[in-house]
């Protein structure tokens, strides 16, 4: 199954689902499956995952 980042219109395979820019503001964050799955995979619901794009806010 493919998921789509609503902000950047990037397609991501559900097996590799991860928010690539978790520190950036995103108006879609509350309903974002990529963000939810990346937090679930990390096993920490309160900790923000690290920004994989190499950029800060």
Q: Would you call 50 helix, strand, or coil by DSSP? A: coil
Determine the pLDDT at residue 41.
81
Determine the pLDDT at residue 26.
94
Q: What is the pTM of this model?
A: 0.63
Q: Give the integer Cα–Cα distance in Å for 54 and 43.
A: 22
Determine the pLDDT at residue 16.
82
Which residues are CB-contacts of 28 (< 8 A; sequence separation ≥ 6)? Answer: 6, 7
- Each residue's pLDDT tens digit, 6-57: 999 999 888 888 888 888 999 999 999 998 888 888 775 555 556 666 555 5
């Amino acid at each position: 199954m493919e998921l789509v980042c609503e902000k950047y219109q990037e397609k991501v395979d559900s097996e590799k689902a991860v928010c690539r820019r978790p520190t950036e503001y995103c108006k879609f964050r509350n309903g974002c499956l990529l963000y939810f799955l990346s937090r679930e995979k990390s096993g920490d619901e309160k900790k923000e995952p690290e920004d994989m794009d190499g950029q800060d806010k």
